[in-house]
Structure 1
Amino acid sequence: MKIKIKLTIESIIKYELLTGTPFHEIDYTDNQNMCDMLYCTVLCNNIDPITRDEFKVLCENEKMFSRMTKDLIRSISIIQQFMPNVSSDTSETRDGNKAAYIKDVVSTLIVSGGMDAEYIIKRMDLCDIQIYIDAYEKHKREEMESSRLWTFHNMRPHVDSKQIKSPRDIMHFPWEEEQIKKEAELAMERDKDDLERFLKGEMIDLSRITWTKSN
């Protein structure tokens, strides 16, 4: 029985819907996890449909289960060559939140990003998702910053220019936090240096001071 095993976005979405867990949390040493993932790849890559219970019977054949597992691991290994290095703890994102479901990321790219559903689900590889997510987030940031700038210009004639000097004085976005922190640290360091120079008399030209005797 020839069964095609290939990891696709569609099969990953099916796995997340079937198990209720993110693809990134799959345990490759757990036979049940592997059986579920294999079932989804078989369902999406083969013409004849098969139920989960029917596939479990196939997985009882150790030789067949081993071959399918090797094919899946090989498919994943090929894709991983093109993915950025990630930490060993894939259960959390860089922001400390739980790992996102691929199905939710795909939905965002289709509904909010306007990408073609057929292309993403049927033809795009897992390693390509980050490229489009980065582009989508960059586009959203630019839109939000442009909207803020427009608001700033409209407000300027009606507010105190000393209180609102730049669009960031209206509000700042999460991706600006690091830059704001760096600017504050530089300002503190500069003020510290100026204070030290002042105390040493380096900022005062003593030769230009006119000294007078007091009566």
Structure 2
Amino acid sequence: MDLSIFIFCAGVALLILVLIAVCDVSVEGHKRPAPPRIPCPPKLIMAPGMKYQRLTIKAIIRWEQLREKSFSLMDYTDKEDIESLLYVMYITSDKSRYTFEVFRQVLTDERFMNAMSSDLGRIMEIVDQFRKKTTVSDLGSTEGSPEYIGSIVSTLIMAGLDAHYALNEMELCDLPLYLEAYERKRKEEMEGSRMWTYFTMLPHIDSRKMKNGARDLIIFPWEEEEMRKEAERAIREDAARFEEFMKTKKTDYYGR
């Protein structure tokens, strides 16, 4: 075969191979990407050794954000409330991230739902042993809507409580202890500030007109409550003494 013909054929073959490769790349680049698919949570979440262990404050805050209400309004007979609580406990204790709707697909399996509910009941029974005989709503204001646990914890954190401990390690039954300590510290600071204000003003005022000392400058709400309780106690004692007086006979005081 003539050498020039051989070179020409080889060049044509190479050109054909290049065109085929370019067409493959072009077709591959125009393929429609596969739609994203979020897998369901693996059912291994309820495998032995992977059960729910604790109800953290972070989970409670996530529940309040999801349900848009205070945890004190948690209704254990409400399916939405229970499913939401199981969900936030899952996402705060596991590195996986699934939406609530995806997570609920797992709950359609009655076995897993029962197992999770059993774990939740066990956790609440353990925590309830250490809880004061008060409701969660007592942690916040008694006026208006119940206080959110998230709001209370945020206040304690800003006051100096370690954020990691408060969110991940502190139990719900421990929250009143820190709240009482915070309230006590706040009262002492406010009363101390009032006292120093009183001492600063003392050289410039007639102290004889201030019979109650620093309290004449301002009376705090908790002091008003103490005064009210003291007045009620005095009234009860007076009423008891009056009843005792009415039960006595005149001969006890006067001779015949």
> Does the alignment pair 1:115 with 2:154?
no
Give 2:190's match in structure 1, choosing from 144, 147, 152.
144
Quick one: which amino acid aligns to residue 170 of structure 1? L
2: CA distance, partners of 1:27 / 1:130: 21
Q: Does 1:35 align with 2:83?
A: yes
| Gap change, CA 1:146 and 1:33, over 3 Å in 2 | same
1:130 and 2:184 are equivalent in the alignment = no
CA distance in 1, matches of 2:122, 2:146: 23
Residue pairs, 1:1-215, within 5 angstroms = 1-3=44-46, 4-5=51-52, 6-86=54-134, 90=137, 95-111=142-158, 113-165=159-211, 166-181=213-228
Matched to 1:109, the amino acid is L
User: Displacement of 1:37 after TM fit?
Assistant: 0.6
Q: Percent identity?
A: 38
Where 1:16 maps in the other structure, the secondary structure is: helix
Corresponding residue for 2:3?
none
How far residue 184 of structure 1 moved from its aligned partner, in angstroms, is 5.6
**Separation in structure 2 between the aligned mates of residue 116 and residue 38 of structure 1, nearest angstrom:** 26
1:91 deviation in Å?
A: 8.5
In structure 2, distance between residues paired with 1:149 and 1:52: 53
TM-superposition CA deviations, 1:121-174 (whole Å, max 9, x none): 111111111111100110000000000000111111111223223010101101
Separation (CA, whole Å) in 2 of partners of 1:91 and 1:61: 37
Gaps of 5+ in 2: 1-43, 239-256
| Alignment partners' CA distance in 1, 2:191 and 2:138 | 31
Q: Which TM-score applies when normalising by structure 2?
A: 0.67
SS in 1 for 2:209: coil
Q: Against the structure 1 CA distance between its residues 54 and 118, is the aligned structure 2 distance closer, same or farther, given a 3 Å change threshold?
A: same
Q: Which runs of 5+ in 1 are unaligned?
A: 191-215
Q: Distance in 2 between matches of 1:161 and 1:183?
A: 26
Q: CA RMSD of the aligned region, Å?
A: 2.5
Counterpart CA distance in 2 for 1:97 and 1:91 is: 12
- The farther-off stretch of 42-51 and 6-15 is 42-51
Is contact 1:91-1:98 (8 Å) kept? Answer: no
Contact 2:140 2:148 in 1 (8 A): no
Give the TM-score normalised by structure 1: 0.79
Q: Is the 8 A contact 2:140 2:152 kept in 1?
A: no
Give the Cα separation in 1 of the matches to 2:230 and 2:123: 46
Q: Is the 8 A contact 1:43 1:49 kept in 2?
A: yes
Residues paired across the two proteins, number: 188
C-alpha distance in 1, partners of 2:148/2:83? Answer: 19
The structure with the greater share of residues assigned to helix is: 2
Note the C-alpha offset of 1:20: 0.6
> Could you say what secondary structure the match of 2:208 adopts?
coil
